[in-house]
Structure 1
Amino acid sequence: MSLLPNTSRRDFMKLAATAGGGLLLGFHGARAAAAEPMILDANAASAALDFNSFLAIAPNGTITIFSPNPEVGQGIKTAFPLIVAEELNVDWKQVNVVQAPLDTKKYERQVAGGSGSIPHSWKRLREAGATARVMLIGAAAQRWKVPAEACTAQNGMVLHKASGKKLSYGELAQDAAKLPVPQDVKLKEYKDFTLIGKTYKNVDNQAIITGKPLFGLDFYREGMLFAMVQRPKAFGMKVKSVDATQAKAMPGIIDVVTFRNNVAVVGKSTWQVKKAREVLKVEYEAEGALESTADHNRLFDELLNGSEATVRRQDGDVEAAFKSAAKVVKSEYQCPFLPHNPLEPMNFFAHVREDGAELIGPTQTPERARGEAAKYLGLPPEKITVEMTRMGGGFGRRLAADYVMDAVEVSKLAKAPVKVIWTREDDMTAGNYRPAVKYRFEAALDAKGNMIGYKLRGVGINAGNPTREQNFPSGAVPNLLIDSVEHKSPITTGPWRAPITNFLAYAEQSFLDEVAEAAGKDPVQFRQDLLEQAKKTPTGDVKYDLDRMIAVTKLAAEKSGWGKKKGPDGKPLAQGFSLYYSHLSYVAQVGEVVMEKGKPVVKKIHAAVDCGVVINQSGARQQVMGGIVDGMGHAMYGNMTFKDGAPDQSNFNSFRLIRVNEIPEVEVHFVNNGMDPTGLGEPALPPTGAAVSNAIFKATGKRLYKQPFVEEEPFKGIS
């Protein structure tokens, strides 16, 4: 039993004050079972609650749902409550959503990463809403002295059709609170959904548009200090000496502290600490290799040709297949480092005290933030509270806790509440990047153009395993070898939206188009033949759903008019196909390219998506469209290079992003198969690079073997 966390106490007290005896239900994230309900009264805010996820019903009929997962722009703060409201049978206009703080005793998975929030919580949230509905119906049935089976719930009301009686949820809240909590409640049939599958605005839209303080950068507390951190200018260097005399003498500066190979300036305003940081005199020295992009390019070739590699999957007799092949196709594809560049740079607030700590800010992994802070401070985790603000983007960068620890360590050293703020330059030059990788593919074809052998070697810079050895075409080729080599570098890397698959998909799907061309087959039909072969005679384990992959392939081809459209010149329209499975979802895309002034221009991308049940049409479409724009933009323009450990790009004047006039039309089609929902924040990004590059090949006859595309032919000269 524990009190509501301090970080939600004010919201809860407001709720309790307005509820005046309403019903509060809590549901444990692990078992989705309701805890004992509590009647809200003037003293409810200080009552001990052993709940996890919260559902409150006020006498005026307002439903308040505490959303536990971090909101990073993926729409989870809207989707989670929609799921509860669907089973509760309540009018969506009655629902009020409040962000819950970190509480691992009440919530099981408070993470925004891996596109896993909905798959993990789908059943739990439905059971939460259904349990409340059953209790409210039971309360009405007792009052009317009728069987519960004779009553129904609709739009926040319980109805007894035989007598015409009806009561609102608010009127029933107190009585419902006195009933035992039912177990194993029956959930709705998908065909009976009235909320899920329709279009809804994001619950924070109004607050965002009107500039309400939702984001970490908005957070302010009277008396807090501000800090900026000076980091080594290059990866592989360490601080040798610090002269902070001039910085400390500047207006508003409270202190300059050194920690974890960093120097932080602490003061009374962001501007003051920024200006003081500029006059710090910090001397650095190398503590390891200072690597450059040119070094990595040489390493890629050495490791691709070396004999040392970790075998990830091996099926059949690969060497025999290649020896007997009528034709062998061999290609190499390369992708650079990429920064995350969320619109909101890294920032966090920490107030470290002797007896505990308070953390507030944008994090995708609040439990990790608390755990690392607890370890550093030598405190029990329960002595540290974490409140999540809305995030202005994350894309995997905020899965790490380094920027949280900046605030924790500076607060401890300064003995004051401190908010650490990164600039855009800090964000880009001290980030953890998407790993740079190079792939070598080989395919063996028999005399009929069938792929009888397949090899893939991935070489990555701090990439771990840069392959996904269980993904297509594994299982569809009788003889297959996938292995990898990793080079350890001082340049820090980490998950970048759709980790590994964001660049692997481009390489794999571009290569499959090459193989299809060498086999004299249509690219879509070539993939369908492989999938059908895997259905009939699979080789080893097939970890993806073949029928679902075939379905999105056919849907994308149908909706795009694959092979049937004409371009502006009257010739067949240049189209490129791509197909990928990631985060439990299936996405096929068709890119369309036309030539304008001698250059290829992407005009449209069609996407067929199987992510199971779509909860919010608006949110889902935005996720797919955003992923496609993100994937295309970085494939076309993104490039992070290094010279002696130092990034060459430090802001958007030197790091190219996609521009508004370069964004193509995006058409999205969802497969309606009634299956449980799967991930959607990431799966639309991986196929995009290849859909674009394969279409460009059709338009120009030139393959794109490296990202960014604009640095390759036929884009030379585009700025």
Structure 2
Amino acid sequence: MNKELKSNRRDFLKIAATAGGGLLIGFNWSACDSPKMKVISDEEIYDKAINFNSFLSISPSNHVVIFSPNPELGQNIKTSFPMIVAEELDVDWSNVRVQQAFLDTEKYDRQVTGGSGAMPHSWQRLREAGATARQLLMEAAAKRLNVPMSELTTDKGNVIYGSKKLNYGELANEASTLPVPENVQLKSVKDFKIIGTPVKNVDNDAMFTGQPLYGLDVYRDGMLHAMIQRPPFGMKLKSVNSDEAKKVKGVKDVLTFKDNVAVVGEGTWPLIKARRLLNIEYEPIDKALESTAFHNRKFDEMLNSGKAEVKRKDGDVDTAFKNAARVIKSEYQCPFLSHSPMEPMNFFAHVKEDSVELIGPSQTPDRARKAAAEICGIAPEKVSVELTRLGGGFGRRLRADFVEEAVELSKMLKAPVKLTWSREDDITGGAYRPAVKYRFEAALNSKDELIGYKLCGVGMNSGNSTRENNFPAGAIDNLEISSMEYNSPITTNAWRAPITNFLAFAEQSFLDEVAEAIGKDPVQFRLDLLDKAKSKPVGEIQYDIDRMKGVITTVAEKSGWGKKQGVSQGFSVYFSHRSYVAQVAEAKIVEGKAVLDKIYAVTDCGIVINPTGADQQVRGGMLDGMGHAMFANLTFTNGVADQKNFDSYRLIRMKEIPEIETHFIDNGIDPTGLGEPALPPTGGAVANAIYKVSGQRLRNQPFMNEEGMKNINLGNPV
């Protein structure tokens, strides 16, 4: 059974699309029938609420306050976490109030947003939190009514006995004094009332009306503003003349620390003007400054060196290739990418005599706390961290460098400081998606059977540039996956769906090349490999064969794979972050040009908590994967990024977004990751569709830089 959500162009409000590629999308919530939900700060409700556990409180007015501990950066966790608690509590959702929890490592595990791991980690904990409170309330009602608890039921925040009804608010005091049960009964999936229903984002009203939610909104009386000029990668500060900068009205001071030059003042605009007047001289740290041309040469040298570290080896690879009737070889390469979230890096820090107050957007608040404690020489317990909503992150805010800068400045100035990065700071001084190059080889015998497979990857500060245990590992008798790393002063970081964001495109494109070479349908080729992995597995298999086959067969059915006239279809499937996504992209010729027209996506992420949020996660991941594969490119000259803002760092534009149709596999298993898995397969589906319609095989990103792409119109003509 599939839960289906089809694209409707009227659901999207085309608010703005700048000439430089900036994009702002608003969802038309009037087209959605999900219940209304508000985040409020009603002191009466919060002050009188009775705590049942770390996740929830119940007020005498029968309002339930649910605390959402994890950072919210658009993955909808601030809505979906409370939905799970409310489900097991069996409360009326309209009576729920959601509060963002502060960092508290004693109350909460894994207050982190990254790796699409929040839901799999917290699913059981959240259910138990709600179920425990529900059982206590039922025990309190049983005592008051002097009846067996087995004769009671609950519904929408009430305990019911026959015609009698007691709401949770009037039972809260009594229930909170009872011993906490060791074992609680969780609901059956078939009895869910909230989970699986479309619920609006709890921050919608605040976002739509411009209420303070984000780090950039933070304000404290007496705080100073700060902006920093950082050195190019591979360089250090030699000298600075700040005389002219200090003359700008509103500038208080110019400070240097750790090769950085900080301008401090009353607001960001004076600081932006003052930074332009700084006269700074840098010098190399210890070696020549790096440029993109150097990186490209280095990748080739390393791939040809034969010095890669073997990560997995099955069978006799050398013999398979030696005896092959023919060998197919291809190389795929991708550039650095900026995370470029809508909200640039920022943070508020107030270093006091023996404590630190931190407020801002962080994916890893405990890392921020520990960094601040180390800088100030105090215990981490003396550092408080208040989380704001994140205006995007995609992995960039896993780091704490911007928090450390704010703390350093507050400590030096002995004052509260709000540090703000400009868009140019964010693109030129960020921690990027690593540049990577892959070399693939496939050995075929005289019967055009795949008998050998090699993948060697070289990445820039990537750790391991491959995922050696992912499909097609386990389905090929002779397989070798190897990797090597080039260490660069250009800082890199996890970028949405780390490693797989490009690897999936390369693998899925190469598998299509192999399928074409042996004359097999691309979808059937992968299904045959999966059948072989199930019947005659080779080595360890770390993916679920049946779940992967499930998304493949479903997307083939939904897209009418191979049955349509007038369109060319490209296929891709990938497993990452515990979930499975298969996609079919469709392209056609319009006025002599190839046009990307539609993409189908089928996702298996287990139980879908909130269909509205899940649908948007899949669409957002696909847009991310599609747009960056087609357009985004970050190059370097002497340690400095050539692209500095959205006028030169190209993002996808509204008119270039094709129709998207999403489907979800309803298999009833516990939720798996969803924030990232839809991104990896998108590039492969798009590239394979473009090849089918145009004959242009795309092996390098961004696609628009490939030869022959002038006859490709990636925008939807409608």
Q: Aligned letter for 1:599? A: K
1: distance between equivalents of 2:40 and 2:458? Answer: 55
- Secondary structure at 1:111's aligned position in 2? coil
TM-score by length of 1: 0.92
Q: Does 1:23 align with 2:21?
A: no
Matches within 5 A, 1:300-699: 300-567=299-566, 573-699=567-693
2: distance between equivalents of 1:57 and 1:697? Answer: 58
Note the C-alpha offset of 1:599. 2.7
Q: Aligned letter for 1:24? A: N
- Secondary structure at 1:706's aligned position in 2? coil
1:455-486 alpha-carbon deviations (Å, 9 max, x no partner):
00001122221100010001111100111111
1:637-694 alpha-carbon deviations (Å, 9 max, x no partner):
0100111111110001111110001001111110100000000000000000000000
2: distance between equivalents of 1:309 and 1:688? Answer: 28
Q: Does 1:256 align with 2:254?
A: yes
1: distance between equivalents of 2:613 and 2:503? Answer: 26
Contact 1:351–1:408 (8 Å) recurs in 2? yes
Contact 2:141–2:171 (8 Å) recurs in 1? yes
1:296-324 alpha-carbon deviations (Å, 9 max, x no partner):
11111111111211111011000111122
1: distance between equivalents of 2:458 and 2:513? Answer: 21
Note the C-alpha offset of 1:596. 2.4
Contact 1:310–1:483 (8 Å) recurs in 2? yes
Find the counterpart in structure 2 of residue 182 from structure 1: 181
RMSD of aligned Cα (Å): 1.4
Contact 1:517–1:523 (8 Å) recurs in 2? yes
Change in CA separation of 1:14 and 1:491 when aligned onto 2, cut-off 3 Å = closer
Q: Which runs of 5+ in 1 are unaligned?
A: 1-11, 27-52, 568-572
Find the counterpart in structure 2 of residue 291 from structure 1: 290
1: distance between equivalents of 2:376 and 2:711? Answer: 54
2: distance between equivalents of 1:525 and 1:107? Answer: 46
Q: Aligned letter for 1:248? A: K
Note the C-alpha offset of 1:716. 2.8
Note the C-alpha offset of 1:277. 1.3
Contact 1:599–1:714 (8 Å) recurs in 2? no
1: distance between equivalents of 2:203 and 2:347? Answer: 21
Contact 1:21–1:174 (8 Å) recurs in 2? no
Please identify, of 74-83 and 485-494, the stretch whose mean Cα deviation from structure 2 is larger. Answer: 485-494
Find the counterpart in structure 2 of residue 105 from structure 1: 106
Note the C-alpha offset of 1:151. 0.2
- Secondary structure at 1:240's aligned position in 2? strand
Note the C-alpha offset of 1:449. 2.9
Contact 2:622–2:682 (8 Å) recurs in 1? yes
Find the counterpart in structure 1 of residue 115 from structure 2: 114
1:495-524 alpha-carbon deviations (Å, 9 max, x no partner):
000000000000000000000001110000
Q: Which runs of 5+ in 2 are unaligned?
A: 1-38, 714-718
- Secondary structure at 2:67's aligned position in 1? strand
Contact 1:289–1:490 (8 Å) recurs in 2? no
- Indicate the percent of aligned positions where both proteins have the same amino acid: 63
1:69-100 alpha-carbon deviations (Å, 9 max, x no partner):
00000000000000000000111111000000
Contact 1:444–1:453 (8 Å) recurs in 2? yes
Matches within 5 A, 1:60-71: 60-71=61-72
Find the counterpart in structure 1 of residue 280 from structure 2: 282
2: distance between equivalents of 1:613 and 1:689? Answer: 26
Find the counterpart in structure 1 of residue 18 from structure 2: none
1: distance between equivalents of 2:340 and 2:386? Answer: 23
- Secondary structure at 1:271's aligned position in 2? helix
Change in CA separation of 1:280 and 1:23 when aligned onto 2, cut-off 3 Å = same
- Secondary structure at 2:62's aligned position in 1? coil
Note the C-alpha offset of 1:22. 4.4
Contact 2:450–2:476 (8 Å) recurs in 1? yes
- Secondary structure at 1:687's aligned position in 2? helix
- Secondary structure at 2:557's aligned position in 1? helix
- Secondary structure at 2:112's aligned position in 1? coil
Find the counterpart in structure 1 of residue 130 from structure 2: 129
Contact 1:350–1:360 (8 Å) recurs in 2? yes
Q: Aligned letter for 1:133? A: R
Contact 1:599–1:715 (8 Å) recurs in 2? no
Contact 1:704–1:713 (8 Å) recurs in 2? no
Q: Does 1:198 align with 2:197?
A: yes
2: distance between equivalents of 1:243 and 1:21? Answer: 57
Contact 1:435–1:494 (8 Å) recurs in 2? yes
Contact 1:462–1:488 (8 Å) recurs in 2? yes
1: distance between equivalents of 2:632 and 2:711? Answer: 16
The partner residue of 1:707 within 696, 701, 714 is: 701
Contact 1:23–1:176 (8 Å) recurs in 2? no
1:334-389 alpha-carbon deviations (Å, 9 max, x no partner):
11100000000010000011211111000000000111111121110001111110
Query: Which structure has more RCO (C-alpha within 8 Å, separation ≥ 6)?
Result: 2
Note the C-alpha offset of 1:391. 0.6
Note the C-alpha offset of 1:14. 6.8
Note the C-alpha offset of 1:20. 7.3
Find the counterpart in structure 1 of residue 96 from structure 2: 95
- Secondary structure at 2:710's aligned position in 1? coil
Change in CA separation of 1:599 and 1:355 when aligned onto 2, cut-off 3 Å = same
Note the C-alpha offset of 1:600. 2.0
1: distance between equivalents of 2:679 and 2:379? Answer: 40
Contact 2:46–2:65 (8 Å) recurs in 1? no
Note the C-alpha offset of 1:451. 1.5
Note the C-alpha offset of 1:21. 5.5
The partner residue of 1:247 within 245, 248, 252 is: 245
Note the C-alpha offset of 1:18. 3.4
- Secondary structure at 2:709's aligned position in 1? coil
Note the C-alpha offset of 1:598. 3.0
1:405-454 alpha-carbon deviations (Å, 9 max, x no partner):
11011111111100010110000000011011110000112233321110
2: distance between equivalents of 1:22 and 1:267? Answer: 42
Change in CA separation of 1:325 and 1:146 when aligned onto 2, cut-off 3 Å = same
Contact 2:346–2:360 (8 Å) recurs in 1? yes
2: distance between equivalents of 1:103 and 1:595? Answer: 56
- Secondary structure at 1:604's aligned position in 2? strand
2: distance between equivalents of 1:291 and 1:277? Answer: 25
1: distance between equivalents of 2:644 and 2:60? Answer: 55
Find the counterpart in structure 2 of residue 36 from structure 1: none
- Secondary structure at 1:373's aligned position in 2? helix
2: distance between equivalents of 1:446 and 1:126? Answer: 53
Note the C-alpha offset of 1:15. 6.5
